[in-house]
Chain A
Amino acid sequence: MPVELTPETRAQCEAIISRYPDDWKEAAILPVLHAVQKEWGYVPMDGLKLVAEMLEMPPARAAGVMSFYPMFFKAPLGQHVIQVCSTLSCVLCGAKDLVEHLKEKLQVDVEGTSADGKWTLAKAECIAACEGAPAIRIDDKLYRDLSPDRLDELMAELD
């Protein structure tokens, strides 16, 4: 369990916080959470306490904010994270098939990580790519117009 940020990440957090008012540091919570998640791949509870401390806010409020957003993870993830959009257009165009295919292929449930630690399957709310439905996000990249076959190719490329 990591309990301290690297000096680089801490400096980055401090730089972010310095852009916000001194008496309202908690306004910086989203970019700071992104910075922290970048270091560990997820935000552990102890890390969240560090964030709350840096932002001078109650830990329960920081945890509440973090839990609102699906892009922050509170447990370690696989090497790659596949987020399948589960909002209207994508569902109509076959997102459910993608999820079933991935469950079968990786032998995991949604929010599970494959046994080899390579892939985490997650759902996402609208990722703003309706014109390319069904769309998914793998790590930080968006992929459109997917089918199970196209998904297999993509995953093979990344593997």
Chain B
Amino acid sequence: MPTFTINGQEVEIQPGRNVLQIAADHEVEIPHYCYHPGLTAPANCRMCLVEIEMGGRRGMMPSCTQMPAEGMIVDTETDAVKANQKAVMEFLLINHPLDCPVCDQAGECELQDYSYTYGADHSRYHEHKHIQPKKDVGEHVLLYSDRCIRCTRCVRFCDEISGTSELGYFNRGVHNEIDIFPGMPMDNRLSGNTVDICPVGALLDKEFLFKQRVWFLQSADSICPGCSTGCNIRVDVNKERIHRLVPRANHDVNDYWMCDDGRHGWGYVHDDDRLLFPTIGQGDDQNLVLWTAAIEHVREKLEAVKAEHGADAIAGLASSHLTNEEQFLFGKLFSDGIGGGTIALQDATSSEGDVAFKSGFTIREDKSPNARGAQEILSAVVGTVASTDVVWEGIREGRIRALLLMGGNPLARFSDAEREALAQLDLLVVNDILAGDVSRMAHVVLPGAAFIEKSGTFTNYAGRAQRLNAGLEPPGDARADWEILRDLSNAMGCEFTMDTAEEVMGEVAKAVHSFESVTHENAGSGGMQIEAAG
């Protein structure tokens, strides 16, 4: 492999990787603003200039567009490089408002960080600062142009990734500003990404604006539950609340992006209607009970139905919002605990179909995160996953007398006909996170956990098992659904001893062929492709 030199260190040339990227691979940080690995590089910010010697000539070159060549000498810490970095910082700060105390970006701002590392400790500028306006540029996004450093990442994002090109680069010189065409705001479902990639506090998320100082936030790596793409995300929380979701880079799934539906779709987690305590009894007769009492009550009722009508009178409706671990335990509850019955999987397909963008990023029609995992695991454990029609028909015809409705879907609504059928049941057990018509009809309510309140794995549409990690405790007495299902299975005669979702995955791996090599450790932070079933 041909080599070149960075700061005296001989390094290999990687095909397709530029000097800046290879330097980063070898822990040499080259500061940059306009360059973003998910976009084309215009080399307009001049922050990443390094000294390059090749063929007897030496000069300053932008490392973000420079491809290395055999024998090239790259120096990133010479006096000339440092002087340039300092000069660029000084120019960028001339008109920057320095309103860091009220800026959302403070604490995660590349202008702050680079100013600290590469800039001067004082300003030589005594003239008036040119002040640009604050603008509303889209449903979710504000542009405080006075903080903008014109790196054009946002413009390129709209040109190259969303393919919607709403942003332009207006005027020139000191009047240069990012803007929309008058009356044509940013109208794409990926717009929130422009806020993420803005290296300064110019582009702001309206929902996050002034909500938190970022240094108070704690993070958990998770998976967006909004559709079957399974974007890798980081959930930022503080004081028992989610404050924002941001994408984590994963080239096999979502690159650097996520959609606005997912980004802003977590409101239900903190809804006033969250189910907080297990209850027994319907309507106004609902009584709060301890978990042990609730589980025991379900056991008694299930045994009674089974004794009178047989195991086939019991059915389960699984939600594909349940993790792989939970699908497994739900299957086991039927196959080993109840010893029969019917399981069907609720459908979460939206009528809009897949929505694909210029870069290939796709918002999928299946608005649940784990339909593929659910189908695969349930069918491995119970044999056949029935269609939901079979369950509804069974209830209407009186063959099915008890129904376990497991794992809610924040977007799902049951039809009048379906609610009528549910009213016919001898036993309706609802495990959900939000109160609604159906939880009020339930004989037993088992409050579950939202995606950020539990650990486990989802399998995305392409068969990639990806980990979610708990970042918050479930509210009230609510519990992770896999714990509820473990206890319910044990009440029905199983002997599960696992204390973590990871241990449940150990059992899944033994029982489901395609999950043979899946462990939480193997899935890591970026997930792992599971083998095709069969």
Residues of A participating in the B interface, judged by any CB pair closer than 8 Å: 45, 48-49, 58-64, 67-68
Contacts and interface: CB of A to CB of B under 8 A. Distances in A.
A63 B171 contact: no
A60 B172 contact: no
A113 B182 CA distance: 23
Contacts of B165: 58, 60-61
17 contacts: A45-B182, A49-B181, A60-B166, A60-B168, A60-B179, A60-B180, A60-B184, A61-B168, A62-B168, A62-B181, A63-B168, A63-B170, A63-B179, A63-B181, A64-B169, A67-B172, A68-B170
A48 B167 CA distance: 15
A67 B171 contact: yes
Given A60-B179, A67-B171, 12 more contacts: A45-B182, A45-B183, A59-B184, A60-B165, A60-B166, A60-B180, A60-B181, A63-B181, A64-B169, A64-B170, A67-B170, A68-B172
Interface residues on B, range: 10 to 19
Contacts of A68: 170-172
A45 B184 CA distance: 11
The 3 closest A-B pairs by CB, nearest first: A60-B168, A58-B165, A64-B168
Contacts, number: 40
Interface in B154-177: 159, 165-172
Contacts of A62: 168, 181
Instruction: With a 10 A CB-CB cut-off, give which of A48, A58, A61 has the most chain B CB atoms.
Output: A58
Interface of B: 159, 165-172, 179-184
A60 B167 CA distance: 6
Contacts of B180: 60
Contacts of A45: 181-183
A135 to B, nearest CB: 21
Contacts of B159: 58
Instruction: With a 10 A CB-CB cut-off, give which of A45, A62, A64 has the most chain B CB atoms.
Output: A64
A45 B168 CA distance: 14
Contacts of B166: 58, 60
B191 to A, nearest CB: 14
B115 to A, nearest CB: 28
B168 A58 contact: yes
Contacts of A48: 181
Contacts of B170: 63-64, 67-68
Contacts of B182: 45, 63
Contacts of A64: 168-170, 179
A45 B171 CA distance: 15
Nearest to B171: A67
Instruction: With a 10 A CB-CB cut-off, give which of A48, A58, A60, A64 has the most chain B CB atoms.
Output: A60
A121 B67 CA distance: 49
Nearest to A52: B181
Contacts of B179: 60, 63-64
Instruction: With a 10 A CB-CB cut-off, give which of B166, B168, B180 has the most chain A CB atoms.
Output: B168
Contact of A59 (B169, B171, B172, B181): B181
Contacts of A61: 165, 168-169
Nearest to A70: B172
Contacts of B167: 60
A48 to B, nearest CB: 8
Contacts of B183: 45
A46 to B, nearest CB: 10
A62 B165 CA distance: 11
Nearest to B184: A59
Nearest to B167: A60
B303 to A, nearest CB: 66
A36 B166 CA distance: 23
Contacts of B171: 67-68
B472 to A, nearest CB: 40
A58 B159 CA distance: 9
Contacts of B184: 59-60
B132 to A, nearest CB: 14
